[in-house]
Amino acid sequence: GWTEYGTRLLYQTHDVTGSLAAGENVLAAVLADGWYSGYVGFDPGRAARHYGAAPRLLAQLVLDFADGSRQVVGTDAGWRERDGEIRYADLLMGEYVDARAATPGWDRPGYDDAGWDPVRAEHLDPAGPALVAAPDQPVRVVDELAPVAVDARGGGRFVVDLGQNMVGRVRLTVPAAPAGTRIELRHAEMLTDGGEPYLANLRSAEATDVYRTAGAAGEVFEPRFTCHGFRYVEVRGYPGDLTADALRGRVLATDTPAAGDFDCDDETVNRLHANIRWSQRGNLVAIPTDCPQRDERLGWLADAQIFLPTACRHADVSAFFARWMADVVAGQDADGAFGDVAPRLNVHREGAPAWGDAGVIIPWHLYRTYGDRRVLRRCYPAMRAWVEHIHRHNPDGIWRRRVGNHYGDWLQVGARTPRDVLATAYFARSAALVARAAAVLGADDDHRRYAGLHDEVRAAFVAAFVDADGRVHGGTQTCYLLALAFDLLPAHLVDAAVAHLVADVRAHSEHLTTGFVGVPLLCPVLTDHGHADLAYALLHQDTYPSWAYSIAHGATTIWERWDGWTERAGFQSAAMNSFNHYSLGSVGDWLFGRVAGIDQADGSVAGRRLVLRPTPGGRLGRASARQAAPRGEVACGWRRTGDTVAYDVAVPVGSTALLHLITGDPDGVREAGARIEASPGVTLVARERTRVVLALVSGSYHFTAPAAPGPVSGPAGPPATGPDPKEYR
């Protein structure tokens, strides 16, 4: 995996007992450049200027014998090396294998390596990078795709469609051909109007693999040291007729355990959910990347923090992100500024608002989701230093100085959110979360300090940017979303701000204008403030800009930008146009948390006190989700039949839940056919005009309720900052 190599090197441990035999054994390795000495990021030069000029190997074999003795065989100056059949291998450029140069048996007992060269051996510097056991799952082949179409283009050239934009490599079976026959594989996410691979958006990444045959029958080529983002493969020089059986897409990802799923009866929404999952899978490859295909693939902090709530719904990413946070912290500078990316390569400036704030937001969300204080404790000094960095340069509470390369609401469309509004909102948010973290860790003085700082920044935000009628300066959807989601407004202005937000969405004919920063807040804020009908209208919107617009034009992953391709303009500028980028898929958290309804109370950690808020609406007739939580699996779903809505709920042992049911007749709610007052494990908390709130203990429940008439309004959610953070202890 890729880490801040100057600080930390990860090693992997394997039990190889079953591979040992009596007598002679061989310990061998194949090396390629990888992140350490290959092309990395969008720097056109080699990464040698960043890390090293050549790959390095550190290995040892530890043998424990039955008599209690131990033998250790390690890498040292006695090892020997030579070039193999891999002529070059690079994550961005591709891999070249000349099978004629293969040396059968080189890694088996009995091979004579007398003609090989001695290695260059260097002693480890005790003051150098720390050696750390890899704490998370490795990158593995996690799936395999068969072609859905093979288009013969003549002259031994074929264009293969795998039917799904994926990340990984190809396994190609080659028929008998003269030794040295050159076969070339080029990878692309899209096709041009003429059916040719669209390669311009790869920029300087060649994404091309080459294989020269050994001359045997049935050779199989599968690169080992490269990774591409692609749906289409152009095969050149293939001997004979390429059939679908001869090629497979091998999907690579960090093998994070599956944790949850969402399903409904609208195939476009299901496709959106699938696109989000595929983009998560394709961009969690050693680090959380921004895109898998072009010459970038960097760990951008804002992208990660806005998508993390959605990522936690699909997979157990606790170990993955805890490990990556060590690199985020390692990249913090002496003034307390996090970077824009981690590992901090190519981009050495101070982190921008919402980007650097990931250093605070991610540890807090990991703690809330998984209940593990260790990552919070490790990151807390860096979290505090980040907030102090902002405050030191902006003592008046308005974040205008030391903003790095301020990206604003990146890639928003048809609007421009004032950058000081966005920055100050994030300043307040980070101060509030550091206060909460301090309370959890028992740092009471820090808790009081940062809670007070949050109040000061909040007051400065209102004074500088909020008018008496609830208008937020800039007036964009994102302006209102930040103010509402981060609880920055006085209570008497909340309804007015919501009205302005709703008016803006309607003024854009029920279209969004949000970019990376605003999009994860849009549907949750509308739902929590009584406008779930409008959130559903955005979900179902199929004209540009919208999620469904990309799906209508063939998207199988989340696009980087709303206008990645449009009917009017075709492809956007190739300078920045990925078709696999999870940021705009952060709406996935809303599908789980509001549509299906799985959430937890504001003061809860690791799902101890669940809040289940299923929200029937839109064109959906049913929706459900399940999610593995530290205490067990949570499930919540609903389906409409005529004038009745049925709800299925499962609460794991060790958790309690508050279930909010929207209904047109609170007295008509039943659990397993009985009145709720007579149902074991169910306690009536509130019965209102359009909703019933029930307290549940662990178990499975089946409710029915008369449907609510008219537009659906979702149950109000808790404020973003909530009660006294000491509750989190």
What residue spans of 248-352 are helical by DSSP H? 267-283, 301-314, 318-330
Which residue among 560, 567, 671, 688 is the active-site one?
A: 560
Active site residue 567: no
- Whole-Å CA distances, 275 to 188, 278, 579, 613: 17, 5, 11, 24
How is residue 205 written in tokens?
């990444």
How is residue 572 written in tokens?
């956007």
Question: How many angstroms separate the CA atoms of 213 and 205, rounded?
Answer: 25
- Give the closest residue to 180 by CA, choosing from 314, 87, 274, 62: 87
Which residue among 296, 350, 671, 727 is the active-site one?
A: 296
Question: How many angstroms separate the CA atoms of 405 and 349, rounded?
Answer: 8
Question: How many angstroms separate the CA atoms of 402 and 505, rounded?
Answer: 32
- Give the closest residue to 602 by CA, choosing from 478, 456, 462, 718: 718
Question: How many angstroms separate the CA atoms of 700 and 626, rounded?
Answer: 13
Question: How many angstroms separate the CA atoms of 672 and 598, rounded?
Answer: 21
Angle at alpha carbon of residue 104, lines to 98 and 107, rounded to 5°: 110
Question: How many angstroms separate the CA atoms of 197 and 183, rounded?
Answer: 17
Contact 119, 81 (CB under 8 A): yes
Active site residue 727: no
Contact 250, 142 (CB under 8 A): no
- The residue count of the chain comes to 729
- Whole-Å CA distances, 290 to 435, 449, 583: 30, 35, 8
**At 454, phi and psi to the nearest 5?**
-60, -45
Contact 352, 390 (CB under 8 A): no
How is residue 338 written in tokens?
């996090």
Question: Taken in order 402, 460, 429, 599, is the CA torsion positive or negative?
Answer: negative
Helix (H) or strand (E) holding 566: strand 565-566
Residue 699 falls in which region: left (phi positive, over 0), alpha (psi -120 to 50) or beta = left
**At 577, phi and psi to the nearest 5?**
-155, 75
Q: Which residues pair with 656 in a beta bridge?
A: 609
Catalytic residues: 296, 560
